């Protein structure tokens, strides 16, 4: 892996919620334009970790952070860095589809521009490219003015992906993007991820091992044992983590012995 470049690197990431130490010394490097899956049992800190990559964890008032997250060699926690600017370059898709209910499909795609106070010269083109990249264009092209909530759950999630893509992020974070979707919609979202992978760095949290194997180039296994803070037990190529795990705990988890 030595010849890979890394868009995003986490160095010695530690997180506390109040007095509770929830993540300890996480070091992960995310190769440019590849998909990395974060797996692990509930409560192991993987969702918290993915939120440190765009500083969304700071919305929890008691959260404390130590370490570095380097986006193109610049620490997003550095002095004078505005978390709002960070999120312009690092998009995020959530567990539950969350299109803005008061906006139409088209307005949802453009909402990022409006919300960040940016201008764009060709909105129609941006709407079409974003929706195409999220592979939902054909389903909605005739009804762009319809309310976003008129879509099905899976379509809403792909609309949320399109909404993130319209901002042209370098990195896309996905926090269990399929956990609220049926198998058919899950497949569509996974296809979308694979289509996007060549052009952006994707980090995906998932509880679904098959999903990690289907979409991810790298997999990191998180664990929090006996009340200890969560940490990375194993990180490597997906085939290796699932095929020949080095750590016995990884082996137990990926083979369904616990979690």
What is the C-alpha to C-alpha distance for residues 135 and 193, in angstroms, rounded to an integer? 10
Sole binder of other proteins in the list 25, 120, 150, 210 (CB under 8 A): 150
Spatial distance between the Cα atoms of 189 and 133, rounded to a whole number of angstroms: 11
Least Å from the CB of residue 155 to other proteins: 11
Q: Which stretch binds other proteins (CB under 8 A): 7-15, 72-80, 108-116, 215-223?
A: 108-116
The two tokens of residue 175 are: 């926090």
Here the tokens at position 5 are: 């470049």
Q: Which of helix, strand or coil describes residue 253?
A: helix
14 near other proteins, judged by CB under 8 A: no
Count interface residues toward other proteins (CB under 8 A). Answer: 34
Question: Cα dist. 95→49, 70, 112, 180, 249 in Å?
Answer: 15, 25, 19, 7, 26
Considering only residues 5, 25, 102, 244, which one is a binding residue for other proteins as defined by CB under 8 A?
Answer: 102
**Of 100, 132, 208, 259, which lies in the binding site for other proteins, with binding defined by CB under 8 A?**
100
Q: Which is nearer to other proteins, 59 or 198 (CB)?
A: 59
CB of 163 to other proteins, least distance (A): 7
Q: Strand pairing of 35-39 and 201-205?
A: parallel
Residue 84 binding other proteins, by CB under 8 A:
yes
Give Cβ neighbours of residue 160 (< 8 Å, ≥ 6 apart).
93, 94, 97, 98, 99, 108
- Told to check if 73 binds other proteins by CB under 8 A, we report no
Does 112 engage in binding with other proteins (CB under 8 A)? yes
- Span interacting with other proteins, options 25-33, 68-76, 78-86, 222-230, rule CB under 8 A: 78-86
Rg of the chain on CA atoms, in Å: 18
Number of alpha helices (DSSP H) and beta strands (DSSP E) in the chain? 10, 10
**Residue 182: burial class (beta carbons within 10 Å; 0-12, 13-18, 19+):** exposed
Question: How far is residue 223's CA from residue 41's CA, in Å, rounded to a whole number?
Answer: 7
- Interface with other proteins includes 65 (CB under 8 A)? no
Calculate the alpha carbon distances from 72 to 12, 26, 52, 169, 171 in Å: 17, 18, 16, 13, 11
Report the nearest approach of other proteins to the CB of residue 165 (Å). Answer: 11
Stretch that binds other proteins, among 82-90, 183-191, 205-213, 224-232 (CB under 8 A): 82-90
Q: Which stretch binds other proteins (CB under 8 A): 89-97, 204-212, 231-239, 245-253?
A: 89-97
Nearest approach in angstroms of CB 170 to other proteins is 13
Minimum CB distance to other proteins smaller for 148 or for 215: 148
Q: Which of residues 116-135 bind other proteins (CB under 8 A)?
A: 116-117
Q: Which residues here bind other proteins, judged by CB under 8 A?
A: 54, 56, 59, 61, 84-88, 91-92, 94, 96, 98-104, 111-112, 114-117, 147-150, 160, 163-164, 167
């Amino acid at each position: 892996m030595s010849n890979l470049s890394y868009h995003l690197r986490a160095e010695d990431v530690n997180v506390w919620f109040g007095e509770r130490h929830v993540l300890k010394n996480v070091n992960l490097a995310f190769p440019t334009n590849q998909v990395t899956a974060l797996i692990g049992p509930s409560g192991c800190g993987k969702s918290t970790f993915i939120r440190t990559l765009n500083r969304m964890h700071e919305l929890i008032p008691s959260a404390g952070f130590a370490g570095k997250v380097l986006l193109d060699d610049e620490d997003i926690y550095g002095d004078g860095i505005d978390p709002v600017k960070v999120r312009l370059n690092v998009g995020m898709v959530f567990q539950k589809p969350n299109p803005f209910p008061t906006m139409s499909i088209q307005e949802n795609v453009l909402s990022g521009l409006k919300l960040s106070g940016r201008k764009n010269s060709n909105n129609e083109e941006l709407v079409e490219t974003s929706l195409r990249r999220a592979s939902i264009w054909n389903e909605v092209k005739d009804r762009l003015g319809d309310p976003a909530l008129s879509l099905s759950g899976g379509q809403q999630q792909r609309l949320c992906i399109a909404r993130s893509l319209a901002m042209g992020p370098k990195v896309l974070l996905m926090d269990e993007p399929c956990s609220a979707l049926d198998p058919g919609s899950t497949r569509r979202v996974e296809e979308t991820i694979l289509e996007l992978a060549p052009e952006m760095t994707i980090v995906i949290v998932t509880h679904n091992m098959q999903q990690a194997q289907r979409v991810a180039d790298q997999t990191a296994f998180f664990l929090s044992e006996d009340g200890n803070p969560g940490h990375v037990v194993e990180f490597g190529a997906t085939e290796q983590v699932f095929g020949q795990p080095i750590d016995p705990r990884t082996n137990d988890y990926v083979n369904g012995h616990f979690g």
